[in-house]
Structure 1
Amino acid sequence: MKAQFEKISAPIHSSFKAFVYEGARFSAPWHFHPEFELAYIEKGEGIRYVANSVQKFNAGDLVLLGSNLPHCWKNSLDVTSGVKSLVFQWDEHVLGENWINKSEFAPIKTLLAQSTRGLKFSDEIGLKYADVLKDIIKKPAFEKLIGFIQLLNKLALIDDCELLSSEHFSSSLNIKANARIDKIYNHIHSNFNKKIMLHEVASLVSMGDEAFCRFFKKTLNKSLFTFINEYRINVATKQLIETNKQVSQIAYECGFESLPYFYKQFQKFMSCSPLQFRKKYLNQISN
């Protein structure tokens, strides 16, 4: 399915859209929409893409996305238990013209300005507000809106969050570019554990190698192979946490042909070695 501009319509008698998504997998392609979005993952795990950010996600993931920021979630291929998320989408005039410029909403204004790069709240924050999010969805229209604005204000006062995409990220937000990126994401998602050649990815979107490299770099502000390595390292961290496999086995299963190269890339993206990462995680859960 081709990625495209998504038209979001709020339900009758409501100023914004709040709903529960539940299914076998996250099926939405890489897409964008002018509405802001707050998404909480109640069930599921895999890789989250926000602009040029590639990160592992799991239950408890809480992310705020700015207007027209490309994004999608992709399940882990070995997860068959289904997914569930709570989603809130609203436009800039949810409380009328210029509401955000009133002094009472100054913290929310700052929060939404930061969301242009995507904001990831800590898992602890996500779990803390999970019940609040569920409760808001169930409320009548007026209470739902008030409850949601109150929640935004609370999130605006939290420092425990990270910006996702790079400061200088820019994307030509058109249907053709998004369709190409979605094909690339799906190919890497399905073949990360194999050798991926530049020409095979370029041919997926009917481009020559040089033109493809320029397109990918311009769109995601990183090279194809940096992106692939980033994806593979995120999969590797999941394996380090959830299995007792040897580091070498994980490296090869994630598509790395050389163990030294795997160590080099892991250090680059995680700022520690694979064994240090595993030890740090085990120490955290034992405390």
Structure 2
Amino acid sequence: MKAEYRSISPSPGSSFRTSIFEGKEFIASWHFHSQYELTYILGSSGIRYVGDNMANFEYGDLVLVGSNLPHCWKTVGEQKEDVKCIIIQWDEDLLSDWLEKEEFQHIKQLMQLASRGIHFDKEKAKKVESKMLELIELPPFERLLSFLQILQELAVNANYKYLAGQGFTSNLTVKESERVNLIYNYVKEHHNQQISLDAVAEKVAMNKESFCRFFKKTFRKSFFEFINEYKISMATKMLINTDLTASEIGYKVGYNNLSFFNRQFLKFVQIQPSKYRKMYRDI
């Protein structure tokens, strides 16, 4: 057994599962399942984790994760609306016989690419939104046909980018997966403070040296690089959604030194905070 395993059952009368999740926040911890999963965000925002990748999510976020690839979505900061998303989950066996047919070659390639997780461009995501919403109400046979049309549309016409790194390994024990969830939650709760290595290592019942080796092996980055990446992700969201100054935002996400905040922002975003804000507001 690898990360926290989730058992998923098909929707009644169907060979795959289609559902809408609504709530104050996402309740799933970092987990995996054998099914492929296509998730489209309709409401709320926060940080998405897929393998060793961390990125912001908001309305219009469309992601495909492959079989057994650990993932989770977490709301962060003040929310203006509740979480709402469409989730489609299916076993590889659903399409296994068809994938050898010439007509399904594009979908076959898409599913192969999903082993690292795929994020689709918002323009294409918006175009399949209505079809995804309709799946909930369609009769089983029409639902399957519409689902295949969605996959074909994404496979042929969508721009995408990989999420998890090529060398990411999801071969974690249950205990290691629990540690990852504790780390995620700890950083979420304390990201605007100075997080000490001793404190987080103690939280997961490890000594400092063992914790550093575990984190580096799992995520191919140091824990402090992860913290700064998290803080900057929060900062980008605030630059777009608030009128706070860059120095105020830097302070709110846990930087007491504006110069250091600017350096970290440039490192992870490749642009200065002021230019980043202007870029989005000029759209």
Class of the TM-score when normalised by the shorter of the 2 chains: over 0.9
Q: Determine what percentage of the aligned residue pairs are the same residue.
A: 43
Encode CA deviations 1:91-126: one digit per residue, 9 max, x unaligned. 11113x432222211101111111111111122222
In structure 1, what is the equivalent of residue 51 of structure 2?
51
Q: Which sections of structure 1, spanning at least 5 residues, go unmatched?
A: none
Match of 2:198? Answer: 199
The separation in 1 between residues aligned to 2:170 and 2:199, in whole angstroms, is 23
Secondary structure of the equivalent of 2:30? coil
Of 147-156 and 170-179, more deviation after overlay is shown by 170-179
**SS of equivalent to 1:41:** strand
Q: Aligned partners of 1:85 and 1:100: how far apart in 2?
A: 28
Amino acid at match of 1:7: S
The corresponding residue for 1:19 is 19
Q: TM-score, normalised by structure 1?
A: 0.94
- Deviation per residue, 1:124-159 (Å, 9 max, x gap): 222221111001221111111111011101100134
SS in 2 for 1:129: helix
Q: Deviations over 1:73-108 (max 9, x none)?
A: 11123116311110000011113x432222211101
Residues 171 and 218, structure 1, Cα contact 8 Å, conserved in 2? no
CA distance in 1, matches of 2:215, 2:157: 34
Report the counterpart of residue 225 of structure 1 in structure 2. Answer: 224
CA contact (8 A) 1:24 1:80 kept: no
| Contact persistence 1:34–1:91 (CA under 8 A) | yes
CA contact (8 A) 2:46 2:75 kept: yes
- Residue of structure 1 in register with 2:79 after alignment: 79
Contact 2:124/2:158, CA 8 A, preserved across alignment: no
State the TM-score, normalizing by the size of structure 2. Answer: 0.96
Q: Distance in 1 between matches of 2:115 and 2:248?
A: 39
Whole-angstrom distance in 2 between the partners of 1:102 and 1:222: 41
Counterparts of 2:124 and 2:191, CA distance in 1 = 31
Contact map agreement 2:24 2:82 (CA 8 A) in 1: yes
CA distance in 2, matches of 1:167, 1:276: 31
**Per the alignment, do residues 104 and 173 of structure 1 end up closer, same or farther by CA in structure 2, a change over 3 Å counting?**
farther
Q: CA deviation at 1:217?
A: 1.1
Amino acid at match of 1:158: N
Query: 2:20–2:85: 8 Å Cα contact kept in structure 1?
Result: yes
Q: Report the 3-state secondary structure (helix = DSSP H, G, I; strand = E; otherwise coil) of the residue aligned with 2:94.
A: coil
Shift of 1:160: 1.7
- The equivalent residue for 1:110 is 109
Counterpart-to-counterpart distance in 2, 1:235 and 1:266: 11
Counterpart in the other structure of 1:157? 156
* 1:100-179 pair list within 5 angstroms: 100-179=99-178
CA distance in 2, matches of 1:107, 1:253: 45
Distance in 2 between the 1:77 and 1:210 partners?
A: 31
**RMSD over equivalenced CA pairs, Å:** 1.3
Q: Write the distance in 2 (CA, Å) between the matches of 1:11 and 1:117.
A: 26
Query: Residue 10 of structure 2 corresponds to which residue in structure 1?
Result: 10
Q: How many residues align?
A: 281
Pairwise CA distance, 1:265: 1.2
SS of aligned partner of 1:157: helix
The unaligned stretches of length 5 or more in structure 2 are: none
Is the CA contact (8 Å cut-off) linking 1:47 and 1:55 kept in structure 2?
Answer: yes
Q: Name the SS for the 1:28 alignment partner.
A: coil
Distance 2:185 2:157 in 1: 34
SS in structure 2 opposite 1:69? coil
CA positional deviation for 1:12: 3.9
Q: Would the aligned equivalents of 2:117 and 2:163 in 1 still touch at CA under 8 Å?
A: yes
- The amino acid across from 2:216 in the alignment is K
